Homo-oligomer: A and B are copies of this chain.
Amino acid sequence: MRPSGRQLNEMRPVSIETGVTMHAEGSCMIKCGNTHVLCTATIDERVPPFMRNSGQGWVTAEYGMLPRSTSSRMRREASQGKQGGRTIEIQRLIGRALRAGVDRQALGERQITIDCDVIQADGGTRCASITGGWVALRLAVNKLLKSGALVSDPLISNVAAVSCGLYAGQPVLDLDYPEDSEAGVDGNFIMLANGQLVETQMSAEGATYSRAQMDDLLDLAQKGIAELVAAQNAAVA
C-alpha cells in the first residue's frame, strides 16, 4: 500500500557514517533512505551572552538545505537575505531536542553548535537532523572527555526523532516524501533511549485526528526510535 512497498511499521534503511569531515570536532553523514544529512559539531569554549556566568553550557543547532537537495531547485537562503520561517522553526526544534539529552551543568560553560545540512531530501529531514545531530554531539563530547576537558559525561541519554502520519487512512512509520506530501496528519516524535518523550508535534492540514489515532502513531514512533537508537549506538561504538 505504501509507495515504497514498505510495511506500515517499517523504517527506511538507516546508515550513519562518522568522521566524514576533517575539521569538525564531531561529524556524521546520516542516510535515512534517500534523505542524506551532513551533521557536524563545533565546540566553542564560550557560551552566548545570555548564559554567561551561569556555570552551564549550551547546545544549539543550525539547519540548511543545499539548493539542489530537492526535486526542483530552491533559492539559496543566503542570497534571499534571510532564513525562511520553516528553517528557523526546524533549527530551534533541533537545538531544543538535543538539549533534552544534556546535563548542561556537567557540560560546563561551553557551547556546542550542531550544523545540519541537507545534501539530499526525501522527507523527514528534521528527524534525520536530530538523530544524526546527536551522533555528532556524542563524538564531540567524547573528544572533550578524552582530552580531559570534561571528566564526567554530560550526555544523559541518546535523543532520536522519527516522523509518523496517517497515510491513506493508515498509521505509517517514517514517511518519505511521496507519503509526506499526501498525509493530512503527520507528527514528529522525539524521545530519549528509554522512551521518555522530549517533544511531540502533531499537526494536520485539511484534516483532524482523534486521541486513538494519536496513540497509534506514538506506538509506531516508539518502535522507530528504538531502531534509531541502536543505529546511533552502533555508529559511535
Contact = CB atoms under 8 A, between A and B. Distances in A.
A117 interface: yes
A146 interface: no
Interface of A is mostly: mixed
B218 A197 contact: no
A176 to B, nearest CB: 12
Interface residues of A, number: 62
Contact of A117 (B44, B66, B83, B209): B66
B67 A205 contact: no
A202 B83 CA distance: 24
A99 interface: yes
A152 interface: no
Given A78-B77, A88-B85, A203 B208 contact: no
Contacts of A24: 68
Given A100-B204, A199-B204, A82 B73 contact: no
A148 to B, nearest CB: 22
Contact of A202 (B70, B197, B207): B197
Contact of A62 (B76, B207, B208, B209): B76
A34 interface: yes
Given A199-B204, A200-B201, A218-B211, A78 B68 contact: no
Contacts of A80: 78
A142 interface: no
A102 to B, nearest CB: 9
A7 interface: no
Contacts of A120: 21-23
